[in-house]
Amino acid sequence: MGRTIGRFALYIILVLAAILALVPFVWLIAATVKPSQDMFVYTFFGPRVTFKNFTELFTTVPFARYIINSVFIACASVCVQLFLSSLAGFSLAKYQFKGKKFVYLLMLATLMIPGQLTIAPTYELLYRMGFVDTYIGLIIPAAVSVFGIFLFERSMRQVPDELLDAARIDGCTEFRIYRDVVIPVSRPMIGAFCLIAFMGAWNSFLWPQIMLHSNHRFTLPIALNQMVNLYSQSYGLLMAGTFLAILPVIALFFLLQREFVAGLTAGAVKG
C-alpha cells in the first residue's frame, strides 16, 4: 500500500513538471491565433481564432526573407561542418600518422577556449578579408566542429578494418572508402550531428548580431530581436514570429529524436 501511494505521489510530480515544461508552449500557440483585443481577456485560447497575426507578420516585415536566410545559413553550415568534421574524424579513427597526438591536443585546446575570447580578433580578421555582413563570414569560422570530430572519431572506430581493406583490394581510393563505406554505416551519428549542428546554427545570435548589418541578410534570431524593439506591444505578431522560428527545430527533433539523445550523451556516458 505504502509503495502504491509513493508511486502515485511521484507520478504527480512528473505530471506537474511536465505541465510546467509545456504550458509556455501552449500559451505561445494560443497567442498566435488570438485577435489582439482578446490577447489579455483570455489567458489561453479565446472564442475567436484568427490567422491575422501570421499574415501581418509577412506584410509588416520581410519575414519570408528572414526564414530563407536562416534556412540557407543553417543548411550550408550543417553541410560544411558535416563534411569536414566527419572527414577529420575518419582520419583520426582509422589511420596512424605522424602528429596525431598533436591534433588531439589542438582539439582539446579548442574545446577549452571560450568562443567569446576570439570574437574581437575574428571580427577584425573578417573585416580585413571583406567578409563582414556576408554569409561567408558566418559559415567559415564555424566550418569545422571539434565536437563533431570527436563524435565521428568515436563512431567510426567501430567500423571493422577488414571492411576498409576489402575496399582497398578492390582498388578504392581512401576518399571513396570514406564516401562509400564509412559514411553509409555512420548514419545514426550523422543524424545526431546534423540536429545538434542545425540547432547551433539556427539559434546562433551573438555572432550574426555582430557580423550582419543589412536588414535583408538578417537571420530569424536577429530579426526577431529587432521586431521586439520595433513592435514591443504587438504580442500576437511577436508570438507568431517566435512560433514559426522554433517550428523547424521541433520538426527536425521529432524526426531524429533517437539519434539525438545517443549523440548528445555519446561524449559523456561510456558504454
Q: Report the candidate in 61, 21, 9 with the shortest Cα–Cα distance to residue 216.
A: 61
Instruction: Tell me the three cell numbers of residue 103.
Output: 591534433
**Distance, CA of 138 to CA of 126 (rounded, Å):** 10
**Closest by Cα among 1, 59, 3 to 237:** 59
Cell numbers standing for residue 115? 568562443
Q: Which is nearer to another protein, 5 or 14 (CB)?
A: 14
Identify which range of 56-64, 155-163, 185-193, 202-210 contacts another protein by CB under 8 A: 202-210
Asked if residues 190 and 86 have their Cβ atoms less than 8 Å apart, the reply is yes
Nearest distance from residue 45's CB to another protein, in Å?
13
- Interface size with another protein, residues (CB under 8 A): 94
Could you tell me the smallest distance in angstroms from the CB atom of residue 158 to another protein? 18
- Residue that the C-alpha cell 550543417 belongs to: 78
Q: Give min distance, CB of 187 to another protein, in A.
A: 19
Residue with cell 539556427: 202
Interacting residues of 93 by C-beta distance below 8 A, sequence separation 6+: 152, 153, 154, 156, 157, 159
Q: CA 205 to CA 221: how far, in whole Å?
A: 6
| Binding residues among 100-129 for another protein as defined by CB under 8 A | 103, 106, 109-110, 112-125, 127-128
Sites for another protein among residues 74-93 (CB under 8 A): 84-85, 87-88, 90-92
- Write the burial class of residue 177 (CB in 10 Å: 0-12 exposed, 13-18 middle, 19+ buried): buried
Residue 61 contacts another protein per CB under 8 A: no
Asked whether 104 and 92 are in contact (CB, 8 A), the reply is: yes
8 counts as binding another protein under rule CB under 8 A? no
Minimal distance in Å, beta carbon 61 to another protein? 14
76 or 249: whose CB is closer to another protein? 249
Nearer to another protein, 160 or 254 (CB): 254
AA identity, residue 75:
C
Nearer to another protein, 72 or 253 (CB): 253
Regarding 134 and contact with another protein (CB under 8 A), the answer is no
Return the residue matching grid coordinates 520538426.
251
Minimum CB distance to another protein smaller for 42 or for 51: 42
The window from 56-64, 154-162, 184-192, 261-269 that contacts another protein (CB under 8 A) reads 261-269
Classify residue 75 as exposed, middle or buried by CB count within 10 Å of its CB (0-12, 13-18, 19+): middle
Mask of contacts with another protein, 221-260, x by CB under 8 A?
Answer: x--xx--xx--x--x--xx-xx--xx--xx--x---x---
Residues 18-57, one symbol each (x = binds another protein by CB under 8 A, - = not), give x-xxxxxx-xx--x-------xx--x--------------
Number of residues assigned to the chain: 271
**What is the rounded distance in angstroms from the CA atom of residue 263 to the CA atom of residue 196?**
8
Residues 72, 175, 230, 255: which binds another protein (CB under 8 A)? Answer: 175
Closest contact distance (angstroms) between CB of 166 and another protein is 14
